[in-house]
Amino acid sequence: MAGFLPKPVSEFHKIPHARVAIVASMWHPHCVNAMVDRAVAELKKVGVSEKNISIHTLPGSLELPYAARCLFESDSALDAVIAFGVVLKGDTTHDDNVMQNVVDGFGRVSDRFHKPIINEVIGVTSVEDAEKRSDNSVANKGVEAVFALTELLAWKASLCSSK
């Protein structure tokens, strides 16, 4: 169930030197923007400087892997990308196609650049489901994204420091 993290927000790793790009879909902006805003707030709490956070808005979720690739190509110092989008289930299989292409695209980009992409493009059956995952609680996917990012970057740093 959403909103239950493995550790409290107060115990997230600090990542003060991280450079993070956020890519976000234009669809369902009240939900997506709430997730982005929460992620930015949580990134600041773990020490990321506002100047090291960039936000990029794209037409839809299908464009997010392409945007991540372009960002990594244009900025070799970028540590990670966090992606937000809402894909609403409809009467066709379009939502399944979008979600699969997003996941596959992020995997290819992450493998190519050896950098994490935190995927918070959520597939939901109703706008109300998306609203629950973008509200002002710890269930907001922005919180989950920052948790995953801090864990990955701390883990990666521990590999480098053990050599």
Would you name the residues annotated as active-site residues?
94
**Sheet architecture: strand order including 117-124:** 53-58, 20-25, 80-88, 117-124
Helix axes 141-161, 29-45, angle to 10 degrees: 40
Closest by CA to 114, choosing from 146, 160, 147, is 160
DSSP E strands, the chain: 20-25, 53-58, 80-88, 117-124
